[in-house]
Amino acid sequence: MSSSPLSPADRLRGLRPDWLSDPKVWRTEILAGLVVALALIPEAISFSIIAGVDPAIGLFASFTMAVTLSVVGGRRAMISAATGAVALVIAPLNREHGLGHLIACVILAGVFQIALGALGVARLMRFVPRSVMVGFVNALAILVFMAQVPEMHDVPWAVYPLIIGGLALMVFLPKVTKAVPAPLVSIVILTALTVGAGIAVPTVGDRGELPSSLPVPGVPDVPFTMDTLTTIAPYALAMALVGLMESLMTAKLVDELTDTHSSKTRESIGQGIANIVTGFLGGMGGCAVIGQTMINVKVSGARTRLSTFLAGTFLLVLCIAFGPVVSDIPMAALVAVMIMVCFATFDWHSVAPATLKRMPAGEITVMAVTVVCVVATHNLAVGVVVGSLTAMVIFARRVAHLVHVTSLTAPDGDSVVYSVTGELFFASSNDLVGQFDYTTDRARVVIDLTAAHIWDASSVAALDAIRTKYEQRGKTVEIIGLNQPSAHLHDKLSGELTGSD
């Protein structure tokens, strides 16, 4: 029996976001956005210092990135803001040429990201293996923790019990109630305690002055010449690549955490749009921030675009309207939140002795290489690229050793048949030439590739070399058993890969 058609009102309700129809979702998203906004403030200020710009530049970037991507981004509930990786890329440009060139660079990086997204760069994420993903997550947790260490060094003794108290609240409060995010309760209680008791500890206000007005749209103050373009283009391309790498890896991680799919192409283009908007509003640009994303998704339970939008909105409101209050938040409270994020983010199962005992050595190597590269360079993109390349090399070696060649003299006694089994590509075909007995074999040689597959020109060249060696000794070679793709590639390239005098 067919179902009755939906009424216009029912169809409209189906298009409405979850937070409009479910008060629980609405509350979760709002509170998650508030916690993330509080966690973004000190980091945005820190990244501004790294880039060599006023703290307002980083805070404006975090606001515009989050709000813009809540609309145009491809991954719901992911947080994008000013980041350390982007700050490191553009810091030399700002130091040598000034803020105008930096802003122009951010806008051009956004254009590059839109172009790369349209060209399908997001599809490259399918080549990132799981071991790299695990290494990425673990390295991220280590980096986030390392970023908190300076906040615990050479500080008043009261910082340590505050951090411990904040951690205790976040561990035990969820066992009592989950109505309000534990990180938010921890920040409020520790702030009230330090202000009420007059405890002198480092605060958010010590990191830099918060902005007191809204960002104003404007055009970068640079000469619009080819000289300017050639100056900013290398930095813009580097920023675009690093930003996309971190954003797409973060989106993939959130996909796994929430068991949902997101459009990586839309996210790539959205990152570009957000950076263009950020540049014209005087921000330093950015990309996805994994720490705050984990606070939003894993700790606070947010799942919709509302939390992302409110994270950016609350950030600006807190800075402009409640600057004095926000300035009094002890850094110890935010350090406790980020340490909790580290423990929640790290994949403890991946380093358990039982897991390591069962895991292939190659997988462990790839994971370790990814972690070491990220921690050493403080650049997640570098770790992902090196880890993926390491995985490819290990995979190529493993597959190359699966090629076997066996020989059998034919019943007629005048020919010999070689059976080749496995995948023939550049790594395996290099050893193929040496597995034939050119001197003592019969006058007719048959190479049976029924159980093999030709993947590249190196394999065709190897087969040509085998045929040439036999023909130089007055023997004939016949290749049989090629499947259709292999036959097509062989017929197309055989005899064409070496020049003749």
Residue 1: is its pLDDT beyond 50? Answer: no
CB 310 within 8 A of CB 34: yes
**What is the rounded average pLDDT for all residues in the chain?**
88
Instruction: Looking at 119-181, list the stretches that DSSP marks H as alpha helix, in order from N- to C-terminal side.
Output: 130-148, 159-176
Residues near 165 by Cβ (< 8 Å), separated by ≥ 6?
186, 190, 336
Residue 55: is its pLDDT beyond 60? Answer: yes
pLDDT at position 21: 64
Report pTM. Answer: 0.75
CB 461 within 8 A of CB 489: no
500: pLDDT confidence band, cut at 50, 70 and 90? very low
Name the token pair of 346.
């790290």
Residue 12: is its pLDDT beyond 50? Answer: no
Beta strands in 66-206 (DSSP E): 80-81
Residue 398 to residue 394: CA distance in whole angstroms = 6
Supply the DSSP symbol for 210: P
H or E segment to which residue 269 belongs: helix 264-280
Query: Per-residue pLDDT tens for 424-458?
Result: 988 888 788 888 999 888 889 999 999 999 999 99
Question: Any idea which of 92-96, 102-106, 393-397, 411-415 has the lowest mean pLDDT?
Answer: 411-415
Residue 280: is its pLDDT beyond 90? Answer: yes
How would DSSP label each residue in 332-385?
HHHHHHHHHHHHHHS-GGGGSHHHHHHS-HHHHHHHHHHHHHHHHHT-HHHHHH
Query: Per-residue pLDDT tens for 140-195?
Result: 788 878 888 888 989 999 999 999 999 999 999 888 887 788 888 898 999 999 99
Residue 321 to residue 99: CA distance in whole angstroms = 26
26: pLDDT confidence band, cut at 50, 70 and 90? confident
| Antiparallel, parallel or unpaired: β 415-424 and 404-409 | antiparallel
Query: Per-residue pLDDT tens for 221-278?
Result: 899 999 999 999 999 998 998 899 889 989 998 998 899 999 999 999 999 999 999 9
